[in-house]
Structure 1
Amino acid sequence: MIATAQHSAVHLEMRDVYTPDDPAYLRWKVDGTIDVDAYWREWLELVGATVARGVGVRRARIVSEPVTDYIRHEYDLTTPLNIAAGESVRWLPRRQASDLALPGNDFWVFDDHLVRFGFFSGDGDYLGEELTSDPALIKLCLSAFDSVWDRAVDHAAYRPV
């Protein structure tokens, strides 16, 4: 869906753990490194090409503090890769999000007309997705994203606790 976006792709992440059996994450836990070619090259090329077409790609993360190992992995390794590919990334400590109206699941909104909800188990295993073009859900998700984005801290300034 990001490959066909024309002007915007926004992503809100609200979990503290994703895919705990992900090989890239497990490798980071062992040696603190990431194999970009094995795990990230395709995504980075896709984002880079999308941004080069003039599409704004923004990602906001709501995180509990102190952060989990998984969030530390995202902060230390994957987020710098996302930013190098052209994404803008901001962080919002969960304590600062209590008064925000948020959907119950992570989502992407593409070009203000399509929402992709991502579903995860309590342990962070990926369970599937749902697409919708329902105007009320699009409005809810965009409002939630904008509220988080406006309050969140740019990656360059955020220091996880």
Structure 2
Amino acid sequence: MAGPAPTLEDRLRSCRRSAVHLEMRDGYMRSDPRFAAWRAGERDGLVVAGAWLSLIAETTSRGVPVRRARIVSEPVSDYVRFEHHLTAGNVTAGEQVRWLARRRASDLALPGNDFWLFDGDVVVFHHFDGEGEPAADDEEVRTDQAAVRLCADAFTRVWERAVPHADYAIG
């Protein structure tokens, strides 16, 4: 009998070569209390969850690069401003983050959903509802070469065009 499916955290801990994440929505989990606090004007003390940053630091300290690319509409949404505000913590933990204006992605073949690609052979697609909340069946794991190749190619193309976090200014 098989045990529970590996979590995102399990996958990062077992990752050996690379972990890449492509985000393509202009808003996620607007119910997040940190987002509500940010919208109310709080800026100090809002950080990405400490456990997440520790996991990223642990992963990158093993020599596994963790890269995240975000495709965003411009002018950016409030949620993207919030993400941008918090991203310094990701970068400090060792994650490489880049931003790509959606207009610059028009000629790229992209999968229909955000994803993580681990070690170039396991894709985890993330499904959200129309409000950006995780769907009931929020993860779909794929190992077929067509899905892996689509995601690897898409991420590479986005990464090549995207602007490093330190250089991406939002108005």
Query: Residue by residue, what CA displacement relative to the aligned partner does 1:70-118 show, whole Å, maximum 9, x if unpaired?
Result: 0000111x21011000000000000000000000000000000100000
Aligned to 1:151: 161
Task: Indicate the percent of aligned positions where both proteins have the same amino acid.
Answer: 52
- What secondary structure sits across from 2:116 in the alignment? strand
CA distance in 2, matches of 1:47, 1:34: 19
List aligned pairs for 1:120-159, cutoff 5 A.
Answer: 120-127=128-135, 128-159=138-169
- What secondary structure sits across from 2:167 in the alignment? coil
Aligned to 1:12: 22
Go from structure 1 to structure 2 and tell me whether the alpha carbon gap of 1:35 and 1:160 turns closer, same or farther (over 3 Å shift).
Answer: closer
Give the root-mean-square deviation of aligned CA atoms.
Answer: 1.1
Give the number of equivalent residue pairs.
158
Shift in Å at residue 32 of structure 1? 2.4
Go from structure 1 to structure 2 and tell me whether the alpha carbon gap of 1:69 and 1:34 turns closer, same or farther (over 3 Å shift).
Answer: farther
Structure 1-normalised TM-score? 0.95
Q: Does 2:43 match 1:32?
A: yes
CA distance in 1, matches of 2:152, 2:130: 25
Indicate conservation of the 8 Å contact 1:44/1:82, yes or no: yes
CA distance in 1, matches of 2:74, 2:80: 10
Query: Residue by residue, what CA displacement relative to the aligned partner does 1:51-75 show, whole Å, maximum 9, x if unpaired?
Result: 0000000000000001011000011
Aligned to 1:68: 77
Q: Does 2:130 match 1:119?
A: no
CA distance in 2, matches of 1:53, 1:91: 25
Give structure 2 stretches of 5+ with no counterpart.
1-10
Indicate conservation of the 8 Å contact 1:27/1:34, yes or no: no
Aligned to 1:91: 99
Shift in Å at residue 160 of structure 1? 2.0
Give structure 1 stretches of 5+ with no counterpart.
none
Matched residue type, 1:95: R
CA distance in 1, matches of 2:51, 2:65: 18
Q: Does 2:65 match 1:56?
A: yes
- What secondary structure sits across from 2:141 in the alignment? strand
Query: Residue by residue, what CA displacement relative to the aligned partner does 1:15-50 show, whole Å, maximum 9, x if unpaired?
Result: 0000000111111112223444xx611000000000
Aligned to 1:46: 55
Structure 1 runs of 4+ aligned residues shifted over 6 Å read none
List aligned pairs for 1:97-112, cutoff 5 A.
Answer: 97-112=105-120
